Chain A
């Protein structure tokens, strides 16, 4: 049984006239890795700062283990933060940085010494105690910031885009480190990022945010495979978002072609948004698929080729490990399970939520 650790209830926060969070509610469970994902300005960092105590909401309450902590200052919360720019104390060495929180809580010298060593080991920086902060690389500073927060054994660790400044290899290493720490230490992580790959790799639960609203909440698989609206589909990974008409249950018409699908309950002859992931489009010989088209663009991007195929008046983004030259006539097909049907936004307001980035 999951127990809830942090609850945000009906949080509203505005900076001057700019409403950043609007009636925002969220529950974070014990030992959960939850990621707030969204474009800049979507309110994810503000949410984190409200949990950390650095901003107070205009209305709404924050609960921690059932207790209202809305008015509790940050230094009284059992929560530690890893800041985006690390925010290490430049006038202290690595060891002093990590010991800062422990000294405040009045731990013995022996305990602190032990913990600092343990913290450095945890982030693979053994023997760095006496190094100066300015002598460290960005990745090392980031790991010191992590150690500085973790040695205090917080119940919750808040991370504000901590991997943003790292190169790809180091970032991937750190992603696995974080997952390991979560499993070993039993800490609850609230992680903020605009990088969908980070979010999908590490999270138990992803909260996709935009314009101060939650767009979709779910496991990484749910978010990727079953996006609830065009914003989520567009933000998470590459996708083809096409206007379609739901003819009846399990039948959708896209670009004047009938496709079987697996979605039900959208009514008959209703306009819908259809999402097809580029890797789900199967390319074949002309006439052998569901639609015929012509390759108009082809780029090699590493693992596969990314092509644009003009078919039925729509430029489809297609990913395939086999390259088809520009000008080649091909056919495309997609299996029913890979067609994702979404409601079109019904009202102006819904549309605003969807598209307002």
Chain B
């Protein structure tokens, strides 16, 4: 009885923070402005503008997740291999940006990449042609990778660190080359961390509207931007909610797929 009492504040929290908002979104998503039931808000995803925005968001999220994975796995391997005195420091260096405000970090890239920005000034001084990355999907991917890389590194690093050194030595002992150890021991054993990392990068990348706003210059619409606009400028909560529900389906699918890979939940970062 007492234990149940202890849980009440959290129950209240879950109710106010998750269940009620979810119900409200469901309500708005399936009604029109007059309050009558409709599925048109959800089916609106098939309108070309919305479908394109969703497609682009999926593509960019996929690309940035892939880049994060390709960067994070070797990095986590290096971290595992380095002597532990230095290890803590290197991890700290990579985690450091996480402690800075997300908006500031993204805006910093805007300053770096813009036409007269630091990056292009540098290129000009070196007598190289300037690159107009800002306001392109490439800039958005760059921002996503920069913002979300630590969320890929940490879970992979955690699972790699949990692998018993003796297991790796046993593989060498049985004649395995470095490549074989990587392919048959390290990679399969870090799958839970990789799955967790993919979820942690893919989901926020798919839903972001801040990064695409700042680095896309308001010209590139991801599904997140569309939803944001429906709620703010267009004040069409019903359509915004309907599209949110569609996006939620994609999030649930990706999380479900990843949690299959991470059966024991050992890669869980949160």
Residues of A within 8 A of B (CB): 52-54, 73-76, 79-81, 83-85, 87-91, 100-101, 104-105, 148-149, 152
Which one, B143-151, B171-179, B193-201, is touching chain A? B171-179
- Residue picked from B170, B175, B180, B184, most chain A C-beta under 10 Å: B170
Q: Does chain A have a CB within 8 A of B125?
A: no
List B residues at the A interface (Cβ < 8 Å).
Answer: 164, 166-167, 169-177, 180, 184-185, 188-189
Whether A104 contacts B176 in the complex (CB less than 8 A), given A54-B169, A81-B170, A87-B170, comes out as yes
Among B166, B177, B189, the most chain A Cβ lie within 10 Å of the Cβ of B166
Q: Are A80 and B171 in contact (CB under 8 A)?
A: no
Within 8 Å by CB of B185, from A80, A89, A152, lies A89
Task: Jot down 20 A-B pairs with beta carbons below 8 A, ordered by A.
Answer: A54-B169, A54-B172, A73-B172, A74-B172, A75-B172, A75-B175, A80-B173, A81-B169, A83-B166, A83-B169, A83-B170, A87-B167, A87-B170, A89-B184, A89-B185, A90-B189, A91-B188, A100-B174, A148-B174, A152-B175
Complex Cα–Cα for A91 and B176 (A) = 16
- What residue of chain A has the Cβ atom nearest to residue B264's Cβ? A134
B188: shortest Cβ distance to chain A, in Å? 5
- CB of A81 within 8 A of CB of B173, answer yes
- Let me know if B166 and A84 touch, CB within 8 A: yes
Residue of A nearest to B174 (CB): A101
A104 and B170 CA atoms in complex are apart in Å by: 13
- Does the CB pair B166–A100 fall under 8 Å? no
Report which of A74, A89, A152 forms a contact with B167, defined as CB distance below 8 A: A89
* Chain B contact residues: helix, strand, loop or mixed: helix
CB distance from B214 to the nearest CB of A (A): 42
In Å, the complex CA distance between A83 and B164 comes to: 11
**B residues in contact with A52, CB < 8 Å:** 169, 173
Residues of B contacting A101 in the complex (Cβ-Cβ under 8 angstroms):
174-175
**Known pairs A54-B169, A73-B172, A74-B169; A87 contacts B177 (CB<8 A):** no
Shortest beta-carbon contacts, A-B, top 3:
A101-B174, A87-B166, A87-B170
Report whether A104 and B167 are in contact in the complex, using a CB–CB cutoff of 8 Å.
no
Q: Which residues of A contact B185 (CB under 8 A)?
A: 89
Contact residues in A for B188 (Cβ distance below 8 Å): 91
B167 touches A90 (CB 8 A): yes
Q: Choose from A75, A91, A105 the contact partner of B173 (Cβ within 8 Å).
A: A75
Which residue on chain A has the smallest CB distance to residue B188? A91
Chain A residues closer than 8 Å to B174, beta-carbon distance: 75, 80, 100-101, 104, 148-149, 152
Closest chain-B Cβ to A134's Cβ sits at a distance in Å of: 10
* Distance A76 CA – B174 CA, assembled complex (angstroms): 9
Does the CB pair B175–A87 fall under 8 Å?
no
Instruction: Taking A83-B169, A100-B184 as given, write out 7 further A-B residue pairs in contact, using a Cβ cutoff of 8 Å, ordered by the A residue number.
Output: A52-B169, A53-B172, A80-B173, A91-B189, A104-B176, A149-B173, A152-B175
A90 CB to nearest B CB, Å: 7
Bound-state Cα–Cα, A74 to B177, Å: 10
Q: Which residue of B lies closest to A79 (CB)?
A: B173
Is there an interface contact between B172 and A100, defined as CB atoms closer than 8 Å?
Answer: no
Could you say which residues of chain A place their CB within 8 Å of the CB of B189?
A: 90-91
